[in-house]
Amino acid sequence: MFTSKFGSLPKFYVRAPGRVNIIGEHIDYCGYSVLPMAVEQDILIAVEPVKTHTLHLANTNPLYLDFSTSANNIQIDKTKPLWHNYFLCGFKGIQEHFGLSKLTGMNCLVDGTIPPSSGLSSSSALVCCAGLVTLTVLGMNLSKVELAEICAKSERYIGTEGGGMDQSISFLAEEGTAKLIEFNPLRATDVKLPSGAAFVIANSCVEMNKAATSHFNIRVMECRLAAKLLAKYKNLQWDRILRLQEVQTKLGVSLEEMLLVIEDALHSEPYSPEEICRYLGISLEDLRTQILSPNTQDVLIFKLYQRAKHVYSEAARVLQFKKICEEAPDNMIQLLGELMNQSHMSCRDMYECSCPELDQLVDTCRLELKGHDLLEQDGEAAQYQ
């Protein structure tokens, strides 16, 4: 297909896998550790550097139209999360990291086996692939950790305020093991899963493109606001706090103790922008321009108690999951399954990032599996219905 499209042969190929998160849903952007593993499904790019300064991008899927642009004037339209913009994110991230102005052009053909908008990180895999393509064409070298950090940062050009899990596991994954991914600084630790367990990665077939809506960023902002209100309640410098993990660190308390702080500091009824402003002593204009992201400035209610409760309890479940894997008790499969059940319930009830189809799929699998296998609830497969 590359030859028929460009009339030449590719010089090299680059691959980046998708991922599934076993436990630790929506807590990476709050500063907490997550526990994903890579999947076989991947993004593959065939590449030919060319002497012009033009990027020619094509896709094996006819639904994704060809795109060309100058390699020296990359513009990423946040209002339209078109497929090629994810490639441009990775390209621009490497370009800016090295401070380069004149880049060589290239012909690229993209192929993918990751179902789109299914919660398996097809978009992040494309960003990672594009970053590695650009690095290779330039003849530069970076560590996998550096690449992951650059790609996590550069995917935000598309408008999503993600935390870095997807790019990290795409680069740092190894066969036969899950990884505990920790942030600030980024590092990955092997987590040996029980040999007698089967992980079923099931797709509810409900799609959610997180860059096409504000749903994802609303959750990020709710967590940011919860962190600021908790910091104010505890007399911390709330204006410097962005993540819930920072509040816990500055207070020097356990995750379990943070859950008690929430009960005292936050009410379960949704907060209005006006109430948040009164509590923090700021104007609505300050809230919108200095705290909220552009596509969340008109949100009318924020569920701070529920989001914070999910994050702190989910962060604790990740650590419990790793501990059980390390200690390997006789009933470890049952214990891990119970943690994953709790995770799904919290995603469904506290974080509201499930949907009826996903809930039905989880219920059906639990009935059929009868506790013998672990069901992976694809936490982002069908969010925010």
Q: Which of 28, 42, 166, 378 is catalytic?
A: 166
166 is catalytic: yes
Q: Give the pTM.
A: 0.90
Q: Looking at residue 39, what is its pLDDT?
A: 94
Instruction: Report percent pLDDT > 90 for the chain.
Output: 79
Q: Which of 315, 158, 342, 159 is nearest to 223 (CA)?
A: 315
Q: Looking at residue 382, what is its pLDDT?
A: 38
Q: Extract long-range pairs of 85-88: CB within 8 Å, 24+ residues apart.
A: 85/157, 85/158, 86/123, 86/126, 86/127, 86/130, 86/155, 86/158, 87/57, 87/126, 87/127, 87/129, 87/130, 88/55, 88/130, 88/157
Place of tokens 């899950």: 178
Gap between the Cα atoms of 245 and 290, Å rounded = 20
Q: Looking at residue 369, what is its pLDDT?
A: 59
Q: pLDDT class for 381, splitting at 50, 70, 90?
A: very low
Average pLDDT over residues 307-322: 98
Select the more confidently predicted residue: 316 or 378.
316
Q: Looking at residue 248, what is its pLDDT?
A: 98
Q: Looking at residue 303, what is its pLDDT?
A: 98
Whether pLDDT at 241 is above 50: yes
Gap between the Cα atoms of 88 and 79, Å rounded = 15
> Does residue 10 have a cis bond before it (omega within 30 degrees)?
no
Return the amino acid letter for 152: A
Summarize pLDDT for 119-129 with one digit per residue, the tens.
Answer: 888 999 999 99
Average pLDDT over residues 240-263: 98
Q: Looking at residue 368, what is its pLDDT?
A: 67
Return the amino acid letter for 313: S
Tokens of 71: 């390699």
Q: Looking at residue 53, what is its pLDDT?
A: 92
Q: Looking at residue 295, what is its pLDDT?
A: 87
Average pLDDT over residues 164-169: 93
Gap between the Cα atoms of 370 and 193, Å rounded = 19
Mean of the per-residue pLDDT values for the chain? 92
Question: 329: alpha, beta or left, given left = phi > 0 and alpha = psi -120 to 50?
Answer: beta
Residue 45 has φ and ψ, to the nearest 5°, of -125, 125
Q: Which of 335, 347, 332, 350 is nearest to 378 (CA)?
A: 347
